[in-house]
Structure 1
Amino acid sequence: MRPADQIAQFVADALKEGRTRAEIAAALQEAGWAQNEVAEALNAWADTAFIPPVPRPRPYVSAREAFLYGLMFLALAMTAWNITTLGFELIELWLHDVTDRYSLYNVSTVRWSISVLVVFFPLFLWMNSRAQSAARADPGKRRSAVRKWFGYITLFLAALALLGDLIAVIYALLSGDLTTRFFAKAALVALTAGLIFLYFRGETAEAEDAS
């Protein structure tokens, strides 16, 4: 039996015998269980006098949701990447520097980014709308472990983009290379990553409240 199953079974049996939560916690900690393990095991059961103990809703994993959220994550990643790429090319066009041999406007890149956005941006909006509608119709779906992982992975990548963008700006400033064109590109990356971070910060907060 796994340790998590052992402590869960012990807590359930102790609650059935009428032991208080303080007594159960003290016994488990005295036996060597960590405080967070004890708290998690006790939180798995509703704090009521009903016998047998009433389990709280727990996160679940669904293969169907793994597929849907995986596809939605791909659509979001492709959308964010190509919005940034398209923005970079437009900045190159509007703020073109004839003295900079690296300042090049690529028409084929613009066409490709627009093509990708035409496919993936509506796909992300549609799938995200479906996920939101399903969660409103069935609040239990907010406990999906896949949904929570999707949100936190997205937050992690958005945070990395923001930190990398900040480092690039500071480096350019210290090197004296902080041109208007560079600043515009950095601002675009910060705006894209920031919007994604703020949106999914709210999503993960809802998932935590539902757990």
Structure 2
Amino acid sequence: MKPADQLSLFIRQGLQAGHSPETLRSALEDAGWTGAEVDTALAGWSDSGLGVPVPRPRASVPVREAVVHALLFLALVAVTWHLTSLGFRLIEIWVPDDTAGHRAGWAGSSMRWSMATLIVLAPLFLWLHLHAERAATGTDGLRRAPMRARIGALGLFLAALVLLGDAVAVVYAALSGDLTGQFLAKATLVAVVALLVLSYFRRFLDTG
């Protein structure tokens, strides 16, 4: 039996025996359980005065919704990657850099690949987003789901890493004298996309 299950069973039996949550907390902490572990276990039960402990809803998510959120994350990664790549190619056209080599053939192929990916995955991402939001709005349990929170935290972490890396690249280019207009435009695009991703995934941590 997992430690969390042991705690849950002990608290249920303790509440059934008429012990108060404070008494159970003291006994568990004296036995070596941490305050966070005890708080989590006690939060799973309600002593409503009925003579039996009432279970509170636990954060959970159906397998189908876990798959939807995983696909949503991957689709967003692909969309942002190819959107940024397409933006880079357009910046190279609109803000030419004489110090960069000529890569017209490769750039054209890259743009076509990015556009094809966006045409397919952007509608898929939009559909997955609407589906996930409808499910989360209509089901409090899904909004509390660990899968949703984990994906939100991962998205925030990766977006923050991109922002930090972008800032480091700009400072390095400035120090080395390579801070061209094209480079600055690309860095700005990366920062804007990363900030949009940060804003998007913040919603995933809202359990209200």
Check 1:47–1:93 CA distance in 2 against 1; reply closer, same or farther (3 A cut): farther
Q: Give the match's secondary structure for 1:14.
A: helix
2:80 equivalent in structure 1 = 80
Q: CA deviation at 1:47?
A: 5.3
Counterparts in 2 of 1:53-64, with a 5 A limit?
53-64=53-64
1:193 equivalent in structure 2 = 194
Q: CA deviation at 1:176?
A: 2.3
Q: CA deviation at 1:173?
A: 2.0
Q: Give the match's secondary structure for 1:37.
A: helix
Q: CA deviation at 1:63?
A: 2.3
**Greater CA deviation, 23-32 or 147-156?**
147-156
- Report the TM-score when normalising by structure 2: 0.91
Does the CA-based 8 Å contact 2:60-2:141 persist in structure 1?
Answer: no
Check 1:55–1:137 CA distance in 2 against 1; reply closer, same or farther (3 A cut): same
Amino acid at match of 1:204: L
Check 1:24–1:67 CA distance in 2 against 1; reply closer, same or farther (3 A cut): same
The whole-number CA distance in structure 2 between the counterparts of 1:94 and 1:86 is: 12
The whole-number CA distance in structure 2 between the counterparts of 1:43 and 1:185 is: 48
Question: For each residue in 1:138-189, what CA deviation from the matched residue of structure 2 results, as whole angstroms up to 9, or x when unmatched?
Answer: 3322133322222222222111111111111121222222222111111111
Amino acid at match of 1:4: A
Q: CA deviation at 1:202?
A: 2.0
Amino acid at match of 1:138: T
1:5 equivalent in structure 2 = 5
Question: For each residue in 1:81-136, what CA deviation from the matched residue of structure 2 results, as whole angstroms up to 9, or x when unmatched?
Answer: 001000111111111122x1336451111111111111111110111001111222
CA RMSD, 1 decimal: 1.7
The whole-number CA distance in structure 2 between the counterparts of 1:103 and 1:168 is: 22
1:102 equivalent in structure 2 = 101
Structure 2, unaligned stretches of length 5 or more? none
1:14 equivalent in structure 2 = 14
Structure 1, unaligned stretches of length 5 or more? none
- Report the TM-score when normalising by structure 1: 0.90
The whole-number CA distance in structure 1 between the counterparts of 2:191 and 2:79 is: 15
The whole-number CA distance in structure 2 between the counterparts of 1:196 and 1:33 is: 38
Q: CA deviation at 1:28?
A: 0.7
Amino acid at match of 2:113: W
Amino acid at match of 2:15: L
The whole-number CA distance in structure 1 between the counterparts of 2:166 and 2:132 is: 30
Amino acid at match of 2:145: S
2:123 equivalent in structure 1 = 122
Amino acid at match of 2:26: A
Does the CA-based 8 Å contact 1:92-1:103 persist in structure 2?
Answer: no
The whole-number CA distance in structure 1 between the counterparts of 2:7 and 2:165 is: 43
2:49 equivalent in structure 1 = 49
**Greater CA deviation, 127-136 or 57-66?**
57-66
Identity %: 46
Does residue 202 in structure 1 map to residue 203 in structure 2?
yes
The whole-number CA distance in structure 2 between the counterparts of 1:181 and 1:50 is: 70
Does the CA-based 8 Å contact 2:58-2:141 persist in structure 1?
Answer: no
Number of aligned residue pairs: 206
2:135 equivalent in structure 1 = 134
